[in-house]
Amino acid sequence: MSDTSAIDEKKNANNSNSTTTNVISSIQSFLVSLITIILIILLYFSSSSLILFVCKLAQTNILPTESNCVPYEDAVPNIQPIKTNIFTTFTDPEMSMKLEIPYDSKNTKNIMLDMFKEYKDKPSSNPLANYFISITESLLQFDYSTINTIMNFLNSMPEALIIGLGPIIVAFLFAFGVLINGLYFIYLWFANMYWFFKKNTNESGDGKPKWSNVTILTPIDWWIAIGLVILFIIIFFIGFPLISFIPFVALFYSCFSCLFYKGSLNGKSITSFSLIIEVLKYYKITIVSIISLFVVSLAFSNLGTIPGIFSIITLGLIYWGIISINIFKPISETNLSPSVSYDQAKKTCNNVKTGKQSHGLLYNILIGQNGGNNIKKELKKIGKNLSNV
């Protein structure tokens, strides 16, 4: 009889330990899941904040979208300064805070494009380097123009929709952009081979490069250009897995660089990253409500029915103010004024380039750009030399 009692006591002790272990495991699982979900939610709304900033940036129209203007060329664009709406209300009339992103010295710098322009203006500028620069510049200009157009379109959507669906929409668009950039890169790889038929004739070491066209009348330079064309066609087909990173890097850079513009929110300096804090504060109730739903769901699934019901009661007491925690209390809105237009700012660019008409690759291979005029000049020169013999 005593042996049976001892066995029962041991079983009860094991069951008690097992129950305690299960409770601890459930609580750990609940906490880990809750922390993970909170981090995901905060990360999602943070990315929504960055997307909202780029939408406002697109409306100001200060991205480098014009290939004939700074930072690609010397002409400075004339951009209409505007204010954009942010943190809009659902009142009638609609009210909002005002975000400004001016076209000033801080927002005209672009590390990669400035570096390219500096090299293009060097007296020792090389056509082979300009070939790669031309490809990359064209990709960046295309990407900035695309971002400017699409994000300005998204800016016309309700702000809550941008915050709620922005990361999903942008993720889809980025994936599609990778494909389009790759196709455009293939075109640019061949279309910019006209640079192989260019020669820098500036030997003074001062000023900007002076480009002349390589034609069949300068056979050595012409055959070198033909050799480069053949070589780069081979490189394209053999080394495409290696060079295909160029369009991806260009797209990533153009997207990432949009986050480093600076603006002011109601006169206070702000960046895309500091806007995250403002968005988390303004959309606090939405964020807390989503987290609360996950708290209740995890409590039921990980802890059981009773803890789940208790979590609902606790959240209800907090919401109705019986438990004095202000997580469901909205922030006091300040510096609101009637909303302004959502139209994109006007941009004009006076093209100071007076370059001659460019031709395709086949034209350059045969006679070079403006090669007909060069042939006439060379023939006249040959005839004059023969007449003097």
Contacts of 41 (CB under 8 A, 6+ apart): 287, 290, 291, 294
AA identity, residue 169:
I
Q: What angle do CA 159, 337, 270 make, to 5 degrees?
A: 65
First to last CA, the chain: 137
Phi, psi of 51 (to 5 degrees): -65, -40
Q: If you ran DSSP here, which 8-state letter would residue 331 be given?
A: P
Number of neighbouring beta carbons within 10 Å of residue 292: 18
C-alpha distances out from residue 187 to 23, 63, 228, 248, 301, Å = 62, 24, 17, 15, 54
Q: Give the span between the Cα atoms of 244 and 5, in whole angstroms.
A: 76
CA distances from 6 to 2, 12, 17, 262, 379 (A): 6, 10, 16, 75, 118
In angstroms, the CA 54 to CA 240 distance is 32
- 74 close to 346: Cβ distance less than 8 angstroms: no
Q: Across the 389 residues of the chain, what is the mean pLDDT of every consecutive 10-residue run?
A: 53 55 83 95 97 98 95 94 94 93 94 96 95 97 97 96 97 96 97 96 89 91 95 96 94 97 94 96 94 93 88 87 81 88 93 47 50 45 47
Neighbouring C-beta atoms of residue 301, cutoff 10 Å? 13
Does residue 96 contact residue 88 with C-beta atoms inside 8 Å?
yes
Q: Under 8 Å CB-to-CB from 133, ≥6 apart: which residues?
A: 116, 119, 120
How confident is the model at residue 94, as a pLDDT?
92
Tokens of 251: 């797209």
Q: Angle at CA 258, nearest 5°, toward 66 and 241?
A: 85
Q: What pLDDT, on the 0 to 100 scale, is given for residue 322?
A: 82
Q: Where in the chain are the domains? A: 33-387
Give pLDDT, residue 139.
98
Q: pTM for this one?
A: 0.85
Cross-strand partners of 100: 264
Q: Are 81 and 345 in contact (CB under 8 A)?
A: yes
* Residue spans of alpha helices (H) in the chain: 2-60, 111-120, 127-155, 159-191, 219-243, 245-257, 272-282, 284-298, 305-319, 361-366, 371-387
